[in-house]
Structure 1
Amino acid sequence: MEKDRLVRFVGKVMEESGFKVYKDFKTSRYIIDIYGVLPTIVGDMGVVVACKNYDEHWEVGLDVLKEMEMIGKTLKASKIVVITTSYFTNSASNYAGRRNIKLIDKDGLVTIAKKFSKKENEIYETNVIDENEDSETYIPSTKSSKGPSIFHAGKRSLSKSGRSKSVGRNLNLGNFMQGFKGIMSNTVALIIIVLLLSSLITYIIGLFNKNTALIGVSKILSSAILSYGLVFYADRDPNVVLTKGTIVFFVSMIIYVVLIVLL
């Protein structure tokens, strides 16, 4: 498959999945094959996609993943996707597993193509059937036209209404998870969430035990667990978890101290 055909195909699949697609997207230093924007209930989520039409015997290595990771950080993307017509090296696969990087090799690409082709046939057959049906008894949902997502795919019901609801639920859940992960990538948002959740936890503990020392220790422990845990959820890189988690924890503690002094 030629590079242009691969990019067009991936772009079409993403568009059918609800993305606004920008092909050959230019940054100050790079040109990205695809930059996709997915509107969600919490804001637009960005996805950077690299399409590599390598020969089957040429594997995609770490250099491509690290370059895309730099681009993703520059654009503050919520997801990084690397697609190839060949395969990935073991080191690249292991690296992607520790990062927020989705890899799709030749086999995965074939699977997506089959799902997309099947979906196109389903839409065509449904449209033909609908022409002979009473419009008052069945109105096709606009959501039923969504194509297979690169990031997730749910089981379809045999009935048209059940299939439409299933696709809608999967898309909404995927949007919510992407949006939540995007929020977790924001340091200020993390600090606010840690403050709110740790305060709630210590409040609940205080209802059952009035020991101020226990409440203070609970607040510190819950803040530490939440700080590092939420950062780990958003980014599996140990260095990021340690650095960002420490920042969130200590800033939260400073805010608590300031609140205690002022109140």
Structure 2
Amino acid sequence: MELSVRDLDVTLGGRRVLHGVGADFAPGRITAVLGPNGSGKTTLVKSMAGLIEIDGGQVRLGERIIARVPVRERARLIGYLPQDGTAHWNLNVRDLVALGRLPHRAPFAGPGPEDQAEISAALAATDAMHLSDRRVQDVSGGERARVLLARVMAGAPRWLLADEPLAALDPAHQFGMLDQLRGLAATGMGVVIVLHDLAQAARIADDIVILREGRVVASGPREEALTPETLRQGFGVESVMVEVEAGVVLPVLTGRTPRLD
């Protein structure tokens, strides 16, 4: 079930953040959303999750307009992982991850065997099982990031929208997180991930969307959308593409694009 954005306009705090943004996101693939600070990346993924009001355009899941999908059903279809890594209640880790199962349970019902299995699988997949009995506020920022991903994964959504999930992780767990996202995409889940690291995007993404000042600079398969020209247009930098191993081509930045004025 494809997730698509058409002619999306969003205004926040009196400022137009997105201007006619359009892009398609395919299930079973990872799409990296890139762009300079303030380019509208977070606003785009929040709009796709139906979390903020849009001024114009549409977000569709298949043939359905996201804004018209009931909230409970939407929560079963789309999991959103915010960038701030906040947990508002100092629960133990397993209970926090269990919140990801709420859209699948009857009101006031406790987790059943299927819920418990999904919770355990999510904790294991994120290397967080050993944290199960610890309080959320007693774990490190990187551990909390993995726990919050586990909460989203426990809900088994059709789509995962992750806003800078690597920010609080050490290098080893960054690669682990990327491996987990790749595994999720392999099951048919659609994954949209906001990244700042162009090399990580080149390693993990099947597709790329580059934003600049709320407009789409490039959108499409990685090989077409992540090039020296699109990086020049999107980030104002010069780059070369270097093959670091068989089939892995990474952008290497060489400097800022000279101003012509």
Shared fold by TM > 0.5?
no
Choose between structure 1 and 2: higher strand proportion. 2
- TM (norm. structure 1) is 0.25
Question: Which has more helix, going by share of residues?
Answer: 1
Larger Rg: 1
> Which structure's relative contact order is higher, taking Cα pairs within 8 Å and 6+ residues apart?
2
Output the TM-score relative to the length of structure 2.
Answer: 0.25
